[in-house]
A = this chain, B = another copy of it.
Amino acid sequence: MFMTAIDTHIHSEGRSVEDLKFMAENGIKIAITCAFYPIRPSFPETLIDLARKLTEFEPERGEKAGMEIYSAVGIHPRCIPPRWDKVLGFIESYSGYVAIGEIGLEDGSDEEKEVLKAQLQLAKKLDVPAIIHTPRKNKDAILKKTLEILDAVSFPEELALIDHNSVETVKVVLEKRYWAGITVQPGKLTVDEAVKIIEEFGDERLIANSDTGFSESDMLAVKKLYDACGNERVVRRNAEKFFKI
């Protein structure tokens, strides 16, 4: 029988309660829902209320579906509002989340770098994990810039989960002693590629997820990975350790 798995990167807001139920019934009984706003917000207040929604409403909706939902709050590089420092001020005073995320660089602009740096400094100060996105385009080059910022703020290796790795980037991320997210999803990794990554690099610091959310996506990706390789660390135990859940 399939064990309980943790999907460490979803956008539960883009999924109906029936979808969450379907995931839970298929063994994905725990998920981390990550902050993202699907248009660029005009106001920092929108992301503050989003953080409240993710930590108050989404776990409640998860409960109705038989799924335990934990939240990550923060500013995604594709939705940086004006006066974004207000969002960070709120997060610092707030609780109820398990990580800062998803954060990271998308195009690598100066503004994105500044926002990422400030969020990493906050995560380090608060001693909470950070979920760090890498984009589909120019993944290698953007990862390089991301690593420079992590270095610049002396970000603790054990608090950084660099996500959406390719076979190439996972090597770099693990060499730097960060946690590496493997996202099984059309357009990202196939189940076979993910299994090969586990075989090649070992399961010590790999964490699986689906990134399911606002777009059409495979909600059972983490289950399928488990079915293919039977690895409990990658689909659950590493996440428990990293997120302290």
Task: List A residues at the B interface (Cβ < 8 Å).
Answer: 13-19, 21, 37-39, 41-43, 45-46, 48-50, 52-53, 56-57, 61, 64, 214-216
- In the complex, the chain B residue whose C-beta lies closest to that of A216 is B17
For the complex formed, measure the closest distance between the CB of A60 and the CB atoms of chain B, giving whole angstroms: 9
**What 17 additional pairs, Cβ within 8 angstroms, besides A39-B56, A42-B52?**
A14-B16, A14-B17, A15-B16, A16-B216, A18-B19, A38-B53, A39-B49, A39-B52, A39-B57, A41-B49, A42-B48, A42-B49, A43-B43, A45-B45, A46-B46, A61-B214, A64-B215
One of B19, B21, B45 near A42 (C-beta < 8 A): B45
Q: Find out whether the CB atom of A18 lies under 8 angstroms from the CB atom of B49.
A: no
**CA A9 – CA B53 in complex, angstroms?**
22
Residues of B within 8 A of A16 (CB): 14-16, 19, 216
For the complex formed, measure the closest distance between the CB of A43 and the CB atoms of chain B, giving whole angstroms: 4
Q: Find out whether the CB atom of A38 lies under 8 angstroms from the CB atom of B14.
A: no
Closest 4 A/B residue pairs (Cβ): A43-B45, A45-B45, A46-B49, A38-B57
Please tell me how many copies of the chain the complex holds. 2
Q: What are 11 contact pairs spanning A and B, CB under 8 A? A: A14-B17, A16-B16, A16-B216, A17-B215, A37-B53, A38-B53, A43-B48, A43-B49, A45-B46, A46-B46, A46-B48
Residues of B within 8 A of A38 (CB): 53, 57
Residues of B within 8 A of A39 (CB): 49, 52-53, 56-57
Q: Find out whether the CB atom of A216 lies under 8 angstroms from the CB atom of B57.
A: no
**CA A48 – CA B42 in complex, angstroms?**
8
- In the complex, the chain B residue whose C-beta lies closest to that of A58 is B38
**CA A71 – CA B168 in complex, angstroms?**
43
Q: Find out whether the CB atom of A216 lies under 8 angstroms from the CB atom of B37.
A: no
For the complex formed, measure the closest distance between the CB of A91 and the CB atoms of chain B, giving whole angstroms: 14
For the complex formed, measure the closest distance between the CB of A109 and the CB atoms of chain B, giving whole angstroms: 21
For the complex formed, measure the closest distance between the CB of A180 and the CB atoms of chain B, giving whole angstroms: 28
Residues of B within 8 A of A215 (CB): 17, 64
For the complex formed, measure the closest distance between the CB of A89 and the CB atoms of chain B, giving whole angstroms: 13
Residues of B within 8 A of A53 (CB): 37-39
Residues of B within 8 A of A21 (CB): 216
Residues of B within 8 A of A46 (CB): 43, 45-46, 48-50
Residues of B within 8 A of A13 (CB): 13
